[in-house]
A and B are shown apart, each in its own frame.
Chain A
């Protein structure tokens, strides 16, 4: 028998493989494009904007504004154009006005030098106008024989002249500044904001995990009503944040809140406490809210993990006479360390990123301004978009650091 070489799989990429890869990328392309447009592009934009001296007012494009009206009467009759720059400090280039004059007027002597008239078509070239520009130009006219002055006025002011001009946009010009970063790194304020953020993030995350663990331990045994309780314990997370945040504000209101009424009635305090309006209680309260709203997530994950643990271990431990706490400490906890680690890292980053909850509860007042709330504060309350973007860049830097630590740590733990 002839010695036949051993069959081996073909190397390289065959036609089928390439076709499959092409199909895969075809299926993925819509997702990749849409996510890039809404995530990657804004991220790049943030870095760009953070070096720009941009205010809220700068978002409206600079444009020439014109208003036309008929002025005077008899020998002094004239069409008047009022031209204005919408910006007080930005130049507009290449401003031109075009208009069509009605048949009932005759243009007299004194056409402005920058205007030309051909037939009924009027064209005026103003060139460049500076910021704050606001002037009138008159076009002397007389009425055609038999024309009524009021009718002419209606026609003249009823038609809209077309105005064009190219304004410079602060967002796309070559003007840059480090003022935004200098502003947000003002020593006292920045470290205060960072401290608040870290307090909120660390204790919010730890609290959610511990309460989630406690809740999971409660519901790990099967009993009548377990399903109802499990659904109930998920309510804080499922409900809209705006609904529960405003409810907490109502519940803890110093004037009409039930919590204060209860505390006064029970003798815990003599006067109403402004829970969300004074330091440092407000920061503690927003942290407690965070724990309340997100312990259901930890509870759900931990419960799922617990119920996947083999019960044989516990039965063997019972045979050896292990006590309940010993079983928890030596058997349950080691099994849960993996999921707890993953949850901590994930919750840490999400809590660090949280904006809605704090904004709705306190607006960032009374010592609760975190980095994310500061983005909004700088951009909209102070109307400094560039500074808001600078804070966003700082947040992104922190997140990169967390991600590095996260992936270094997570590679040694169970994947999620």
Chain B
């Protein structure tokens, strides 16, 4: 292992690996953007990455050396013996963008990775710091790509025609000459598949679920947090046990009961069931928050003649507004995203929620871009809420994610 503790060994190794990472990243990015063939050349990446990885530590901080390294990468890619191979059909502008991008990003980032690493013997600290900087850069690229690619494909596929998809699945360039025709999938979903109704139904069901959940969980959470009674500790610990039961196990007898009683295919049935799946986690989240509130404020209210219910309404709830926001957002997200119960209990299209409507699009007779447009329609509202209120949502996720 100590063999690597040398700038002229660590540098080339990290440089070689980093060039493989970057050439792959740029190749994938350009492929997705243009549909043209961009391919990382693994062996050439290792070669050029290694050479430059040895060169940079020899002249640390020298702008001219870095510029020269960049030009070298740029030239080699264009000539065709570089770390990335461009297909003959690639347009000239794309070639320059790909080669230039790879050159600039590689030199800039490798300089940072190898920063403060001398060209001679390394101590353990210096070696590990360089490796960690490499892993950090790799991690940023890896996670960002892994998260973004599916969503990118979701959005772009919704804007393509079935014919264009089959012709070149990688070509996500937008045909702006279509104008509003670009959004034909969406227009057809709202015009022919009633997605406006599905959106409204999902919103209605989700809001009702939030309201019912709060109405049930606030009193319960307050009781567990503040009032003394036998079984309090056991209740507090066991409330989340119900989430150990798979929803599919509960869904089967619920399906039977609703079939027999006529509650299947009714929104009333759905609104009966959804809150029960969210009340326990909301109660759990809120009791933790209530427990953290100072008891003195409530006792002052009691001294002033308020009863417990008035104390809850006038003192505790106003103080707990941030927690109520977190719980509401989290419950809304669960109800909005819910699929299994809607799938099993709703067969009537006029009663469909959004997720149930999308499930009905999953058919070989419906073009893929419609399915993806439906996915976008389901995802954008919840993402907008999430990004706009991330602080509350993150807190809700942390406190409530025991639901799984």
Contact = CB atoms under 8 A, between A and B. Distances in A.
Contacts of B379: 239-240, 243-244
26 contacts: A23-B308, A27-B227, A28-B219, A28-B235, A31-B217, A39-B245, A42-B252, A171-B256, A218-B139, A235-B383, A239-B383, A241-B339, A243-B154, A243-B374, A244-B154, A248-B150, A250-B371, A251-B150, A253-B169, A261-B168, A266-B27, A266-B40, A297-B404, A300-B394, A347-B404, A403-B244
Nearest to A363: B362
Nearest to A251: B153
A143 interface: no
Given A23-B308, A240-B337, A262-B31, A34 B279 contact: yes
Given A46-B252, A215-B143, A356-B340, A21 B153 contact: no
A241 B222 CA distance: 33
A141 interface: no
Contacts of B107: none
A250 B162 CA distance: 12
Given A23-B227, A218-B140, A355-B340, 17 more contacts: A20-B228, A24-B223, A28-B223, A38-B250, A39-B276, A215-B139, A218-B136, A231-B390, A232-B147, A241-B339, A243-B358, A244-B154, A258-B170, A262-B32, A267-B39, A353-B247, A399-B246
Interface stretch (A90-98, A104-112, A174-182, A371-379): A371-379
Interface stretch (B47-55, B123-131, B185-193): B123-131
A400 to B, nearest CB: 9
- Of B232, B242, B244, B359, chain A has the most CB atoms within 10 Å of the CB of B244
B128 A46 contact: no
Interface in A224-279: 227, 229-244, 246-248, 250-251, 253, 255-258, 260-262, 265-267
A246 B371 contact: yes
Contacts of B354: 240
B246 A355 contact: yes
Pairs A-B, 10 closest by C-beta atoms: A350-B404, A353-B246, A243-B375, A27-B219, A45-B253, A21-B229, A24-B227, A38-B276, A42-B253, A27-B223
A396 interface: yes
Interface of B: 27-28, 31-32, 37-40, 124-125, 128-129, 132, 136, 139-140, 143-144, 146-151, 153-154, 157, 162, 165-166, 168-170, 172, 216-217, 219-220, 222-224, 227-230, 232, 235, 241-250, 252-254, 256-257, 259-260, 272-273, 275-277, 279-280, 283, 308, 333, 336-337, 339-340, 354-355, 358-359, 362, 368, 371-372, 374-376, 378-379, 382-383, 386-387, 390, 393-394, 397-398, 401-404
A242 B377 CA distance: 12
A282 interface: no
Nearest to B258: A59
A392 interface: yes
B393 A262 contact: no
A35 interface: yes
B219 A231 contact: no
- Of A24, A214, A251, chain B has the most CB atoms within 10 Å of the CB of A24
Contacts of A297: 397, 401, 404
Contact of A237 (B28, B37, B277, B397): B397
Contacts of A258: 32, 153, 169-170, 172
A20 B227 contact: yes
Interface stretch (A68-76, A122-130, A186-194, A321-329): A321-329
A396 B355 contact: no
A58 to B, nearest CB: 9
A35 B276 contact: yes
A393 B293 CA distance: 42
Contact of B279 (A31, A236, A395): A31
Contacts of A255: 166
A241 B143 contact: no
Interface in A116-165: none
B276 A37 contact: yes
